[in-house]
Amino acid sequence: MESIASVRAQTDPDWRLTVVDDCYPDQSVSGRVEALGDERITYLRNEHNLGPTGNYDRCVKLSDADVVVLMGCDDLMLPTYVATVRRALTRFPDATIIQPGAEVVDEHGRVVRPLVDRAKRALLTPKGSRPTELRGEAGAVSLLRGDWLYWPALAFRREVFGRVPFRPGFPIIQDLAFVVDVIAAGGTLVYWPELAFRYRRHSGSASAKTIQDGTRFEGEGRYYRLAARLMARRGWRRAARVARHHWISRGFALSLLPGTLLHGYAQGARVLARHALGLGPARPHQPKGSQPQ
């Protein structure tokens, strides 16, 4: 309900919120939303769990607004979020996606700066206090070098979802895959550094759990190999090279390896090690004397 409260606290009242419940076990949310008595808020519950990508797709199809935000259930808009996005779109009327400034909070709402976010800011996020417009191969290179986006904070022109579909099979890295596809299709990403959003990061998140068993980096490896091929087909040789090497992703995997070993996550450690070394996925074990299919 904190997320809903943060939307209701906007200084610019021109917004609508649709809460799409993807079969969350706590079924009290419906009554709590209804008790607010806010006509701008609609609650819907999926008949069955769609997963991240399927739920994003449903949210987009439900919307008829010109600008869409796919906000997480535990993230927070600062009171100026809507006003900030409006200013950015006024300054860049042809922008496809707006990334406003975001800070990270933990499960208790305290502002924190984990290593991954310090690295994003120091190495990847566009520098300076002025807005940055990213398009074409330069935009793809910026994102494929390392994913510095905060997906729940992004504001999209709704029409782009009619031109660029979500890629199935990449639930953890869906944000990067989609935005790179948007840029490859001629779209524009604008980084607007004014702080307007709080992104929740905690140990219980889906992405944190996928580090333990290695599925996060298996997915990242598959995506970067695909992206390298896609960029090469477009003739974007620099972007293809950056995707092929993905040094930041591999370095992140290497930094997590000691802790994964310490906690006994053997499978995760194997995946992290292969990813850090730039190796593909391990081949399935073949019984002695069998022939590969």
Q: What's the pLDDT tens digit per position in 190-228?
A: 999 999 999 998 755 545 555 666 678 888 999 999 999
Residues 256 and 127 in one domain: no
Do 50 and 181 share a structural domain? yes
137-148 exposure pattern, b = at least 16 Cβ within 10 A, e = fewer: bebbbbbbbbbb
Residue 110 has pLDDT above 60, yes or no: yes
Q: Tokens for 207, please give them.
A: 């992405």
The CATH code of the domain that includes 139 is 3.90.550.10
Which of 193, 214, 212 minimizes the C-alpha distance to 203?
212
**Residue 62 sits in which domain range?**
2-202
Q: Is residue 136 a contact partner of residue 185, using CB atoms and an 8 Å limit?
A: no
What are the tens digits of pLDDT across the range 249-288? 998 888 888 888 887 878 888 888 998 898 877 655 444 4
Total of domains in the chain: 2
Domain end, chosen from 175, 202, 229, is at: 202
The model's pLDDT over 122-181, given as tens digits with 9 standing for 90+, comes to 999 999 889 999 999 999 999 999 999 999 999 999 999 999 999 988 888 999 999 999
- The answer to whether residue 251 sits within a structural domain is yes
Distance CA 148, CA 101 (A): 11
Residues 198 and 249 in one domain: no
CB 269 within 8 A of CB 261: yes
H-helix segments, 63-173: 81-91, 115-119, 136-145, 160-163
